Structure 1
Amino acid sequence: MPEIMPFAGLLYSPALLEDASNLICPPYDVIPPALQDELYQRSEVNAVRLELPKEADPYAAAAGRIAEWLRSGALRVDDRPALYPYFQTFTDPSGREFTRRGFFAAMRLSDFTEKKVLPHEKTLSGPKADRLNLYRRTRTNISPVFGIYADEAGTADQLMKEYAEAHQPVLDAMLQGVRNRMWRIDEPGLLQRLQGCLSERTVYIADGHHRYETGLNYRNERAAANPGHDGSEPYNFILTYLANMYDEGLVVFPIHRLLHGIDGFDAAAFTRRLGEYFTVTELGGRDALDAFLDGEPSSYAYGVVLPDKVLGIVLAGEPDSVLDSSCPDALRRLGLVVLHDLVLGRLLGIGAEALAGQKNVVYRKDEDEVFRAVGAGEAQAGFVVKPTTVRQVIDVSEGGDVMPQKSTFFYPKIMTGLVFHSLG
């Protein structure tokens, strides 16, 4: 594992934290305009005003606010370096309650070639340029990278659980149906034990690939401009939330696909083409589709939502028969790779560039939205997919490969505003 360090976080004042539900926000990439407006109304110091400002120059606005909030006491620098356990309690769509346990730390940035931190998704230039401008102006990590590590014994999880049971959280906030609680640990002995039990482990980026790559670019930029650079500067580290892949609260939801803008799309002809490669079953509706996917062991099973019918499809042959021979083994085991390469690419003619630009495909986390959009004529078809597993994420990462975009949705998102990290 890369070096994991306690850090003196930037925190909201204790008085403000008494109403912490009005301070935190989701990460920038899942804040639509309506939610941005709502969060602005909640508080003059809601973290959205740093994470996604409305101003024409959002970067200057965020930098100015950090300086002003520090002057006014709304923000403060923590007294001592600490690690910050962060627990999120939530229910899944079936009503089961989970608590995901992890912690915030300052993680040393390392190039992917060093194999200490590994990605699993492709990144796009636009979000990285945006985040780099924010880093430059604010010199602050406002929202964290989300990393996972493998510790089957769960030693760090147990240490954090015991600490949380004996201490009150410094923050307890509800947002979007998720309870968010954070503690701070600054006891040297306990910090040493937490750091020790995580040594020699790889970190796999679950979410925040753009933020991590931006952190690397920003570090390189600052290092080149600093004649005295020695590697100890805060900009060599990035705010990271770390969770154990064996934590029962580490849940991955699927991200479904909606098809639009295909010239001459014919649902009946498309169904016939599917029959050349898949076993196709016509289903009675949403409930039947959910039962079909739950009961189908194949990774290459999908739901197809059309204006007049719902289909369950399963790849009839082996993936080797439809994928290019150069496709790595870890990717061959992913259902989304067959969906993208065979169905979207070969059958529908949607290329990689169109996928990246969402020209013909958009992504939705809510299965209800798939049915609604197709029924309303806003989409030509919808593809309901199974979730990617954490094991698949790690296998792809370790192989040095990347998944199709929007392959994973680690739920819930790590909220912004619990703690910030100064880059010096």
Structure 2
Amino acid sequence: MFALDDITVLSLENGISAPLCTRMLGDFGAEVIKVERPDVGDVNRHWDSVVYGDSSAHAWVDRNKLSVELNLKNESGTAIFHELAGEADIVVQNSSPGVVERLGVGYEDIRQTTEDIIYLNISGYGRDGPYSDRKAYDMVMQGETGLIPMNGSPDAPAKIPLSVCDINAATYGTISALLALFHRERTGEGQELDVTMFGGMLSWLGYFPHKYWHNDELPERIGMRHHLLTPYGPHETADDQYVNYAILSEAHWELLCEVVLERPDLLEDDRFADNERRVENRDVLEPMIESFIAEESRDYWAERLTEAGIPWGDVNQLDEVLDHPQTEHLELVKELETEDGPVPYIDNPIASDSLEFAAEPMPDLGEDTDDVLGALGYSEKEIELLRTEDVI
């Protein structure tokens, strides 16, 4: 059975953050009704056309959903949204600031008729405060939350290629929706939730705020190295490959020097006596280690690191990751059957002997409009009238 059987999610979503959140809820078995602008749909549908004419983003975030085209600028469209919300457990929205209130579908509007509704707002900065009226997208948020200045090489900053701020908000959104369902199960109460990309990313800043608060230290860009630990990260080998390893303890450092590098003399150097001193003297230590690693092949170092019990791995290209032996073992790549052909996808990574996960293909724009309205009690004639009035 699905964990979220009999749970309905109504989503006014766009882009990545809310769509990914509701896709995860759909993976868990919820019925997700995606409300989209007539003839336009979610912006993510139009970013490319590599999946049989559909976009890669749409294929990523829109499986396990129903698509309903609904004009919320029309009073009849707003009324239908309220009807749908009356049948829903959760409403999710990530519209621009103030939009849902102007359309009459904000939390206060919905709770008038559906008191126990769970209403999740996903936004950039929140619904109040000095930045509340700003639109936010992943690249913008990577800059605002300090990721860009600390990422990249010393000579140039860089964005993180993944939509990490969107993924963060989607993850916290999913967690918050599940918590609210659990709370409602116990108390019978619905609630309004706010998840912000800004707050979510600050919560992921890890030890860096503590380095600043206690040591007045701002993270410098150090490329493939680690801000807190050294030696650490990918090192180029003699055969133009990389071996990627992590020295996480003094025991690892001793093994690296004695077993892997066969340089026990490094253990006698006061500059490298502990991790903090190694980091302080990384401009001396790291080039030295890099020169050692560059003398032998990837296989040579792989054998030695394995023998020493030091965590290590390869630096794989995307195609190698998708064909990785562990990817195959964990059965992480599945296929959705569509009218156009099979669509590979990365499966939900949660493994369970008891839980099942849904796997329905992403919907065409508005393909479920008639069925969803029919389930609300609208006749074919009424649905056709709504279509002629540009409501759907």
Q: Which has the higher helix share?
A: 2
- TM-score normalised to structure 1 length: 0.20
**Higher RCO, 1 vs 2 (CA within 8 Å, ≥6 residues apart):** 1
- TM-score normalised to structure 2 length: 0.21
- Higher-Rg member (1/2): 2
